């Protein structure tokens, strides 16, 4: 069936051009017929890494497939709190869920098999301190270490004050005084400067 082989070849090329990963809607928009997409899936040439998100099975293993699946599904989400602390290596906690910040009006993204804990942020807080990093070709948004520490003090009743203080201590041990001005800036953004100041002064 030359026509089918041609369609499969073209679909593989489209996936490869887009770093091996596409959402179903993107694949259809780029000219891949649903039948071709399912043929690639059924033959194990592509694999599903999230609801409506596929990648070439021949690509190297994903470094963080859960984050990639969420980033592809919820493009405005920012990884925050315990998840961001773990990313920045500022916690001894083992994350039991994936913490994301989303706009106040947004719905919680649901991805099969992933425990997601959402926090609704104001526009100003959601826009502050965001870093965009590439994970296996997918743009992933995560709060900077300094913004994350301020957020942890803001949400101390949710995650525990001990977690926030530990993160601040680990940051201080790693960076010294460098970065403390930035942390205080985000403390102002998060309206926790008065709460954080005694802890910061005790560590200086």
pLDDT tens, per residue, the chain with 204 residues: 455 567 778 878 877 776 567 778 888 888 888 888 888 888 887 777 666 777 777 665 445 778 888 888 888 899 999 999 999 999 998 788 899 999 988 777 777 777 899 999 999 999 999 999 888 667 899 999 999 999 999 999 999 999 999 999 999 999 888 889 999 999 999 999 999 999 998 887
Q: Could you give the residue ranges of the DSSP H alpha helices within the chain?
A: 2-17, 24-29, 34-42, 65-73, 81-87, 123-127, 145-154, 156-159, 161-175, 180-189, 193-203
For residues 166 and 62, give the distance between their C-alpha atoms in angstroms, rounded to a whole number: 30
Number of domains in the chain: 2
Could you count the other beta carbons within 10 Å of the beta carbon of residue 19? Answer: 14
Is residue 34 domain-shared with residue 93, that is, in the same domain?
no
Same domain, 95 and 36: no
Asked if 187 and 94 sit in the same domain, the reply is yes
Question: Token digits for 33?
Answer: 């017929």
Last residue of a domain, one of 26, 56, 86: 56
How many angstroms separate the CA atoms of 189 and 127, rounded? Answer: 10
Asked whether residue 51 falls in the same domain as residue 108, the answer is no
Instruction: Note whether 94 and 125 are within 8 A (CB).
Output: no
Do 140 and 39 lie in one domain? The reply is no
Parent domain of 159: 65-203
Same domain? 81 vs 47: no
| 69 shares a domain with 25 | no
């Amino acid at each position: 069936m030359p026509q089918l082989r041609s369609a499969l070849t073209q679909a593989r090329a489209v996936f490869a051009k887009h770093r091996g990963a596409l959402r179903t809607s993107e694949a259809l928009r780029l000219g891949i017929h649903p039948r071709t997409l399912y043929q690639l899936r059924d033959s194990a040439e592509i694999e599903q890494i999230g609801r409506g998100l596929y990648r070439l099975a021949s690509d190297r293993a994903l470094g963080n497939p859960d984050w990639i699946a969420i980033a592809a599904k919820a493009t405005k989400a920012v990884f925050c709190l315990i998840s961001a602390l773990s990313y920045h290596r500022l916690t001894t906690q083992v994350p039991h869920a994936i913490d994301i910040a989303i706009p106040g009006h947004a719905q919680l993204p649901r991805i099969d098999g992933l425990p997601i804990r959402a926090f609704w942020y104001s526009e100003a807080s959601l826009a502050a301190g965001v870093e965009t990093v590439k994970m296996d070709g997918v743009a992933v948004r995560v709060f900077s270490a300094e913004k994350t520490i301020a957020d942890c003090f803001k949400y101390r009743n949710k995650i525990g004050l001990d977690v926030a203080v530990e993160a601040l201590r680990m940051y201080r041990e790693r960076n010294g005084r460098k970065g403390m001005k930035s942390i205080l800036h985000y403390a102002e953004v998060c309206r926790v400067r008065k709460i954080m100041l005694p802890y910061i002064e005790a560590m200086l």
